[in-house]
Amino acid sequence: MNSLALISSPFQLLSLGEYSYQTKINKCIIIVLYQSKKELEQINAMSDIYNTQITHYVRGRRLIQYFELKKILKRYKNIDNILLGNFFSEPHIYALDKIKYKDVIVLDDGMVVHKIPDYINTNKNILKKSLLRTIALKALGINIRFPKKIKLFSIFNIVTNKSIELISNRMLFLNSTMGVLKPSNKIIVIGQPFVELNTLNQVVYCDYLKKIITIYKRDILYFPSRKETLSNINSIGKIKGIKVINSNLNIELYLIKKSFTPKVIIGFTSSALVTLNKLFNNNTSRITITSFKLKFLKNRFNGNFYEKIYEKFTEYGINYKSLNI
């Protein structure tokens, strides 16, 4: 069976690794789209964990990626399964217009997958788009046509419809690699690129982190997102009571490799809160996992996206509370 996957994040590659392990895929053409060195390091580290072979690398901004993808996809005529790392990524969807395929499998890309049932078979866009960008894509002959029917491989409880077949990701590979994890008293905060995405300014984000230190009255470990810039991470590292963790692994694999579980994990809108809860909170281990609700300066998405994420957290046993400053 011929499979082709488009991947642009470590979590997507984790999902692909679990899908390959669970469904016994022997061969898969993997195209990685990336923008920064940090992204590439984390994706390659994830590739080593799952022993996957990446076939093509495409670096650059989206317009450049379209042209590079077009050249690569010319080599592949007929594909049985095309695996998309991100249903809402236009470069990923662009590939559907360039090759023949039988089935579309969409992989996990975080909490955003809960929105797929609202957008599949519609002409709506989840991200706010400028008219200039829309005109530019049409002028360049770049067609973005979302699939009418998909199979969704996910750890999440997605409400399906006639267009979506859900395949449950049981994280069989990760569970098989977990040895004995030693409990610790550490507190870890999972960072997110709110400053880089202009949804918070740096001063406000740092104030939120300082408030967390005062709430727990102890030092915390800060696990940055791969999309956070070095300058912002350095600013966070200067806050008294914070130690930044430098790792080319995502948070789940970092804890497995280091063989410990923290006492408390704190996050905001990160899907890692759900995966960590599923992986580590069982009869032999218990981590307190909390989401803090922030006041964002602006919303990158159409609709009340962030509010829905917090509501979904409660369905997965993740408590959230407002973090006022």
236-292 confidence digits (pLDDT tens): 999 999 999 999 899 999 999 998 999 999 999 999 999 999 888 865 567 999 999
Which residues fall within 8 angstroms of residue 1, CB to CB, at 6 or more apart? 25, 26, 27, 80, 81
Of residues 196, 269, 191, the one with CA closest to residue 224: 191
Neighbours of 85 (CB within 10 A): 24
Domains, the chain: 3-171 (3.40.50), 178-322 (3.40.50.11110)
Q: pLDDT per residue over 56-99, tens digit each?
A: 999 977 778 888 998 999 999 889 999 999 998 888 988 888 88
Q: pLDDT per residue over 112-166, tens digit each?
A: 899 898 888 876 776 656 656 666 566 566 667 788 899 999 999 998 889 999 9
* Separation between Cα atoms, residue 6 and residue 28, nearest integer Å: 10
Task: Kindly state the DSSP code that residue 285 receives in the 8-state scheme.
Answer: -
Q: Is the pLDDT of residue 100 over 80?
A: yes
* Separation between Cα atoms, residue 140 and residue 222, nearest integer Å: 42
* Separation between Cα atoms, residue 154 and residue 169, nearest integer Å: 5
Global pTM reads 0.89
Of residues 20, 22, 41, 1, the one with CA closest to residue 253: 41
Percent residues over pLDDT 70 in the chain = 90
* Separation between Cα atoms, residue 248 and residue 46, nearest integer Å: 9
